[in-house]
Every structure is written in structure tokens, then in C-alpha cells.
Structure 1
Amino acid sequence: MRDDEKFEIIRALDLLPHISGASWAMLWFRVNGVKNPSKDEFREKTVEYFSKIVPLLESFEGKKEFEDINHYMKNRFEEEKKLIMSGDNSEVEKRYQRYLDYG
């Protein structure tokens, strides 16, 4: 599969961990009055909300012409979850620190 064929999904999976995952996690902690979640708590909640995109990732399943992109999306999704949990997603880590500073 060529890079231009997966450009949009690459971009989405670059943005969704911190846009949907961390933003919704911040909202959850704020509404629940949790001022100082641990990094692990924040990462777990981020993965929980990031995982809400699974139905989108599965929306092309069962169609032969989408096999390659489906395989790529599943692998990339799992890799993104690992990056979040290990603290290697710098955007999620920035949002965690921002929440502690301004939450």
C-alpha cells in the first residue's frame, strides 16, 4: 500500500490520541473533581476514550478492497495505545502536564 493511500488515516491516528483521548480524559477528571491524577490514571483514561474510535476502524471490514488499510489501521491503533501507556506520546504527556498546571 502506498503512503498516499493511507495519508488520511495516518493523520487521524496522529491526532486522535490527544484530541479525542486526552481531551475527553481531561474532561472526565475535571467533571469528577480529580485535580491530580497519576500519569498512569491519565494514560489509562486516555486509552479508554481513544478506544471509542474502534467502530470507525471496523467500518470497512468485510470488504476485500480495504484489507490492506484495515490491517494497517488495527496495527497502528494498537501501537498508539502502547505509546500512550508507555508515556511515549508527547502530545498526551503535554496534555497531562497542562491538566496538572491548569486543570
Structure 2
Amino acid sequence: FSPKDRMLVRATPDHAAFPVSRHTTWKRDDIISNPKLEILLDGPEEAGPGLVWDEDLGHAHMINHFEYDVDTLDGEYRRDLVKGTPTGEPIHIPNQYYPGDDPK
């Protein structure tokens, strides 16, 4: 059966944009190779899966930020520019978030 058969995503459009903000990755191949996991909402390669059903636990893992308001990622980006990261890694502009990738 297809992911669209799941009640959780039945009314979801075929194409939707969700903010992605993370420093870790769920690897698509790892999910696909596990028969107990099912990708319900998938994104482009750089974003990866957004919602994964876990048959053993009987719940969904929401990986991307469906709950974010339109300006939440902007606030996090600006906070992180001031605060920095614990490892000192650079803070990158959120991809495809600002018009022309310009946060000004």
C-alpha cells in the first residue's frame, strides 16, 4: 500500500514545503532498508525524509518542522549568528528560505 493510504497524510498535498533545520540527518537508505519503517512524507535529497512511520512503536517520527510559523527559522538563524555553535562550526543561511538566499 502507498503512504497516501495512511490516515495521517491522506489529505496532504503531493508537493508541500516544510522548514528544515537540523545538524543531523536521517539517511533515506537506512529507513528504506528497515522493513518496520515507512517514509510518509519525503523531501528533496538535501532535506531528506520529513515524516516516517514506525511500525514497531506505532507512531510517526516528525523530522522536519511542520509546526514552525513562517518566521521561526529566521529567528533561529539570527539567534545562532549571535550565539554561535558549541563546536564553532559556521552558521549557514537556511537554503531556499529567504528570497534570493539573502537574509537582509
Q: TM-score range by the shorter chain?
A: under 0.3
Relative to its length, the structure with more strand (as a share) is 2
Bigger radius of gyration among the two = 2
TM-score by length of 1: 0.25
Give the structure-2-normalised TM-score.
0.25
Greater per-residue helix proportion: 1
